[in-house]
Every structure is written in C-alpha cells, then in structure tokens.
C-alpha cells in the first residue's frame, strides 16, 4: 500500500544508511545476552551499515553521551532498545524526547496499534517514540525481543524514505 511518491523517494534515497544501536539495561552485562540489541544489529546489517553498538545502564547521562557520540560519528539512524517502560529507572523516553527537534508521532502510534493486535491492551504500556535530533533520526523501542521485532517491521524498510526527508 505504498504511494508512488513514497516509492520515488525511496528510489532517490541512498541505501548507504549508517546506523547505531544503543541498549539500555541494568541487568544485561554483555552484548552476548542482549538479545534485542543483537536482533537489531543483525537486521540492520542485512540492508544498511552498522557503525556502532553500545550497551549502557539506564542512566540519563550515559544515554545522552552515547547519542552525542553517535551524532558526531555521522550516524543517520540511532535505534535504542530498553528503558521505555513505566518503572522509575526507565529514562529513555524523557531523555530522547528532550532532544527532539521534530517528533515522529506516527512511529509510536503505529507501534502501539500493531502491538495491540499482538498483545492486546497491554500495548497501552508502550512508550515507543521517535524523532529527529541534529542530523540523526532516533527510534526508541521497548527492550523485549518481540517488541523490537514489531518495531523493526514498521521502520526498517522505510529508513531510506525517512533519511531522505531528514536530510532535505
């Protein structure tokens, strides 16, 4: 159900999209047990360039530093997983949204709609979000592997179109 304009923009867009992955977790201590971050990395590497991957604690300053470092590395797309829940330690949404120059409301809306089809009313708990910061688009998704799969189904094929518009 793509529009002709969307197809045209995708065709005009570079496929050399540079991505970075940030996993926020207080419980995962190594990338080997970071199933969600690993899944994102593997899916990104099938189509795009994965330049950076980090595993950090649920700490605002750590997240801000990781994002700033990726922006300095000219990363087009930053994908975060974890820290989007309702617990007091979940700081991702408040942190990234404070940086956004433009919010991409449709990502959170579509993610929750698709999640509702999969898990029912528990989708209300999701605070997935996305937006533009400087020269990067940031997608923040929950930490569960199933949530990451759902989110990537929505965005991975659309990244050339998104980056095309962001760089205008």
Q: What mean pLDDT is reported for the chain?
A: 92
Longest dimension (CA), the chain: 45
Q: Which residue from 119, 60, 61 is spatially nearest to 90, judged by alpha carbons?
A: 60
Closest CA to 148 of 21, 38, 40, 43: 40
pLDDT of residue 6: 64
Please report the pLDDT score of residue 52 as a whole number: 97
Place of tokens 């929950």: 142
Q: Which stretches of the chain score pLDDT less than 70? A: 1-2, 6-14, 28-32
pLDDT of residue 47: 95
pTM assigned to the model: 0.92
Distance CA(82)–CA(55), nearest Å, equals 10
The tens digit of pLDDT for each residue in 107-138 reads 999 999 999 999 999 999 999 999 999 999 99
Give me the pLDDT at residue 27, please.
76
Identify the pLDDT of residue 3: 72
What pLDDT score was predicted for residue 15? 73
CB environment 149-161: b (16+ within 10 A), e (fewer): ebbbebbbeebbb
Instruction: Please name each of the domains of the chain with its CATH number.
Output: 17-166 (3.40.980.10)
């Amino acid at each position: 159900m793509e529009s002709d304009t969307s197809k045209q923009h995708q065709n005009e867009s570079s496929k050399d999209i540079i991505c970075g992955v940030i996993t926020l977790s207080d419980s995962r201590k190594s990338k080997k047990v970071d199933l969600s971050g690993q899944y994102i990395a593997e899916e990104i590497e099938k189509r795009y360039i994965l330049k950076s991957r980090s595993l950090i604690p649920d700490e605002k300053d750590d997240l801000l530093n990781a994002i700033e470092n990726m922006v300095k590395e000219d990363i087009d797309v930053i994908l975060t997983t974890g820290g989007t829940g309702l617990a007091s330690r979940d700081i991702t949404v408040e942190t990234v949204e404070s940086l956004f120059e433009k919010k991409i409301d449709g990502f959170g809306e579509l993610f929750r709609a698709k999640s509702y089809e999969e898990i029912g009313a528990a989708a209300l708990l999701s605070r997935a979000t996305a937006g533009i910061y400087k020269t990067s688009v940031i997608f923040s998704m929950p930490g569960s592997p199933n949530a990451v799969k759902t989110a990537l189904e929505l965005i991975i094929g659309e990244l050339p179109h998104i980056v095309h518009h962001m760089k205008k």
